[in-house]
Amino acid sequence: MLVETHGKGLIGAAPCYVKSHSRGEYVFDHGWAEAFERAGGSYYPKLQVSVPFTPVTGPRLLAKSGPTEGAARQALTQALVQVTNDNDLSSAHVTFASADETNYLGEHGFLQRADQQFHWHNDGYANFDAFLAALSSRKRKTIRRERKEAVSAGIDIHWLTGSDLTESVWDAFFAFYMETGSRKWGRPYLTREFFSIVGAAMGERILLVMAKRNGRWIAGAINFIGLNALYGRNWGALEHHPFLHFELCYYQAIDYAIQHRLKSVEAGAQGEHKLARGYLPVTTYSAHYIANPALRRAIADYLKRERAYVDAAGRELAAAAPFRKDLAEQDQD
């Protein structure tokens, strides 16, 4: 979706996709679709404004800075509503937007939604042990035990990036993805070709954390390397060993971020178990235009209760963070 003027050219844009399902989005509206369809409506197709497959917060209504910025943002907002209505779409969803952008859309009739992710923050740690030193004694011991047990069956861990990402490596990782994804999600979304494409296009920005035992790959996790953050995404395994999931997805990501001086690790949606591994709750936001008035009222009521729950859960989880209380008190002094 583009906004252009005769005098200034392109002044705004929004990445839009018409979708016939809700897979690969990480803002879960399957319940809305099922309820609407039980009532005789058709939830799909819908309009999605997002970065595909990537639950990372960022601008969604892209507007050129300067005197036309407000007009471009307003035009994009109005166009989302118009395109939805004119094309008989059920809804328009702007996901993983900034808080400011979500509030703006809320002022223009979009319903606001909040959710939580868990992010690890690098406090300038020199190494993994320095990070552990910031945790309570019990949590330090637990993580050390988990890391030791994760590789106790003769498992070696490898970091693969760039030219390391051969087609045979992608074959192995895709097998992990399909095995775990089929059990967890029912129908994995990404194709084998997808991994070859992203490997060829941006291999230097990809980190595969792979586990090998007895000379063969048995598990792996894919991460994308940003300017200041490591973004953890899919994982899978053919063999199941205690704590190997935590090692590949969480501890190795922290290790990599410390060594490469990245500010954070974003471990994706859901998973309160991440809290005990040093990942803290962070609120994410989305905005939703629902065309049908009855469905809009029902979802608005649901979101009001959901936002209250997310807010309360965030405070409760933050209070249960595994970091040493004496360090928190020093930070406040």
Q: How far is C-alpha 54 from the geometric centre of its chain's CA atoms?
A: 6
Specify the pLDDT at position 20. Answer: 95
Same structural domain, 143 and 55: no
Q: Which of 57-66, 204-213, 286-295, 317-326 has the lowest mean pLDDT?
A: 317-326
Report the distance separating Cα 267 and Cα 272, nearest Å.
11
3-state secondary structure of 204: helix
Alpha carbons within 13 A on the beta-carbon side of 197: 5
Model confidence, pTM:
0.88
Same structural domain, 31 and 48: yes
Q: Which of 46-50, 61-65, 105-109, 315-319 has the lowest mean pLDDT?
A: 315-319
Report the distance separating Cα 92 and Cα 178, nearest Å.
30
CATH number, domain with residue 14: 3.40.630
Specify the pLDDT at position 331. Answer: 47
What are the tokens at 216? 């063969």
Report the distance separating Cα 72 and Cα 84, nearest Å.
18
Same structural domain, 136 and 161: yes
Specify the pLDDT at position 329. Answer: 46
Asked, for residue 268, whether it belongs to a domain, the answer is no
Model confidence pLDDT, tens digit, residues 81-125: 999 999 999 999 999 999 999 999 999 999 999 999 999 999 999
Q: What is the DSSP letter of 187?
A: S
The backbone region for 332, taken as left when phi is positive above 0, alpha when psi lies in -120 to 50, beta otherwise, is alpha
Specify the pLDDT at position 189. Answer: 82
Alpha carbons within 13 A on the beta-carbon side of 307: 13
Secondary-structure percent of the chain, ordered helix, strand, coil, rounded to 5: 45, 25, 30
Which long-range contacts (C-beta less than 8 Å, at least 24 apart) are formed by 98-103?
98/57, 98/58, 98/59, 98/285, 99/283, 99/285, 101/59, 101/60, 101/61, 101/285, 101/287, 102/285, 102/286, 102/287
For residues 330 and 54, which has the higher predicted lDDT (pLDDT)?
Answer: 54
Domain membership of residue 143 as a residue range: 123-262
Asked, for residue 179, whether it belongs to a domain, the answer is yes
Same structural domain, 150 and 178: yes
Q: Which residue has the tokens 């949590």?
A: 139
Specify the pLDDT at position 137. Answer: 93
What are the tokens at 179? 């095995």
Same structural domain, 85 and 184: no
Cα-based torsion angle of the residue sequence 91, 97, 100, 102 in order, rounded to the nearest 10 degrees:
20
Same structural domain, 150 and 245: yes
Domain count, the chain: 2
Contact 253, 223 (CB under 8 A): yes
Same structural domain, 101 and 208: no
Asked, for residue 194, whether it belongs to a domain, the answer is yes
Same structural domain, 107 and 129: no
Same structural domain, 246 and 298: no
Q: At what angle do helices 69-86 and 99-106 cross, to 10 degrees?
A: 60
Model confidence pLDDT, tens digit, residues 222-278: 999 999 999 998 899 999 999 999 999 999 999 999 999 999 999 876 677 888 899
Same structural domain, 58 and 8: yes
Same structural domain, 7 and 64: yes
Same structural domain, 112 and 136: no
Query: In terms of Cα–Cα distance, which of 218, 212, 222, 238 is closest to 165?
Result: 222
Q: Which residue has the tokens 């609120």?
A: 283
Angle at Cα 255 formed by Cα 252 and Cα 261, nearest 5°? 135
Report the distance separating Cα 254 and Cα 224, nearest Å.
13
The backbone region for 107, taken as left when phi is positive above 0, alpha when psi lies in -120 to 50, beta otherwise, is alpha
Asked, for residue 144, whether it belongs to a domain, the answer is yes
3-state secondary structure of 158: strand
Q: At 319, is the pLDDT very low, low, confident or very high (cuts 50, 70, 90)?
A: confident
Model confidence pLDDT, tens digit, residues 172-212: 999 999 998 766 655 778 899 999 999 999 999 999 999 99
Alpha carbons within 13 A on the beta-carbon side of 238: 13
Asked, for residue 328, whether it belongs to a domain, the answer is no
CATH number, domain with residue 136: 3.40.630.30
Asked, for residue 272, whether it belongs to a domain, the answer is no
Report the distance separating Cα 285 and Cα 100, nearest Å.
9
Asked, for residue 57, whether it belongs to a domain, the answer is yes
Give the percent of the chain with pLDDT over 70.
96
- Cα radius of gyration rounded to whole Å, the chain: 22
